[in-house]
Chains A and B, each alone.
Chain A
Amino acid sequence: MNDKPATGFAQDIDAMILARAQRGDMAAFEEIYRRYGRACFQLALRLTGQRQTAEDLVHEAFLKMMDTIASYRGEAPFGAWFKRLTANAGIDWLRRQRHVADTGAEASFEQIAAAEADPAGLVDADSLLAHLPPRARTIVVLHELEGYTHAELAGLFGQSESYSKSILARALKRLHALAAPAASTSRVAL
């Protein structure tokens, strides 16, 4: 049995805090921020790869949450609901950046492949993600780290499941190729 306390979006929220937040209580919103702010920021940072943009996404996600929490009926755990809200904010950001077009995603892969990756820069998983085009990175983060299914990704991006599977396969192949030298260096160093 796993007794480890839940962290990030997996944390539960007190019914009283939720009820107060639904009435627009600022102290309750602050408690929600204390609980989920970090998870929200981490997801935003992984999705965008840029600290400033991640801050903007957290800003946007919390404002959206404050505006819509009154309509939250508890069909899904609060953390899962809020995670989806953050992911949606990330996808909206991608759309605004015009990274969502099919041709854009394919071209970005080729552009990034053409650029020489510096193995010294691949110090951790997050910096590895920075070597993916924005849309591919979003698919990797949501599928591999946040547990989204291909059907859900297809819905979010307005594409077919096979499209999301294809982008994911290409992205993972690329990440493994990039990480191979970095991982061996890391093992030697350890």
Chain B
Amino acid sequence: MSEQELNFRDLAARLPASATAHVPPADLWPRIVATHLNRRRQRRWRRLAAGGGALVLVAALAITAGVWRHAATPTIDWQARAQALELQLDALPTPAASNPLAQLAESELAHLDGNLQAAYDRGAAPRDLDPLWQRRSELLDALLSVRRQQVLLSRI
């Protein structure tokens, strides 16, 4: 027989059929199902864990960004600003007649100064003092505007 003619089908036909039943065992399918379901469950858990991880990451990033933004925001030294405004106010000539708006601002300033003093007396923290100094700056700003206006009018 030449090599060209060799083939397995002819050869197998000359031999008896396989005596062994080539049937998979009865428990093979249940085993496959068990592995498949187990893997599916694991994949679901991994997806959940990945989703949870992503959420935690996003939250952490948001917090970090918030902290960074807060840190990056320039803080105003309200105390220094108030003192600077006070110097500007002192430099202006004292008006002959008082203005009702100026009176209002001066009255609130006096009240605020009392509060500031009380806060310092009880040893208040900077975060409690800052709003008082900020309000003082705003009042001085308003008072300065009124005085400048008065000066301008008196010159005319």
User: In the complex, how many angstroms separate the beta carbon of A168 from the nearest chain B beta carbon?
Assistant: 9
**A interface majority secondary structure:** helix
- Picked from A38, A40, A175, A183, the residue with its CB within 8 Å of the CB of B8 is A175
Cβ contacts under 8 Å, B12 to chain A: 124-125, 128
In the bound assembly, the distance between CA atoms of A72 and B20 in angstroms comes to 34
Q: How many residues of B contact A (CB 8 A)?
A: 28
Contact stretch, chosen from B31-39, B72-80, B99-107:
B31-39
Residue of A nearest to B31 (CB): A59
In the bound assembly, the distance between CA atoms of A123 and B1 in angstroms comes to 22
Asked if A58 and B14 sit within 8 Å, CB to CB, the answer is no
Asked if B22 and A45 sit within 8 Å, CB to CB, the answer is yes
A: contact size bracket: 35 or more
Q: Beta-carbon contacts of B4-46 to A below 8 Å, as 1s and 0s?
A: 0011110110111111101111001101110110011000000
**What residues make up the interface of A, taking CB atoms closer than 8 Å to B?**
24, 26, 29-30, 33, 37-38, 40-42, 45, 55, 58-59, 62-63, 66, 122-128, 140, 144-145, 169, 172-173, 175-176, 179, 182-183, 186-187
Q: Enumerate 9 A-B pairs (CB-CB under 8 Å) in ascending A order.
A: A55-B25, A59-B32, A63-B36, A124-B15, A140-B8, A144-B8, A169-B3, A172-B11, A183-B11
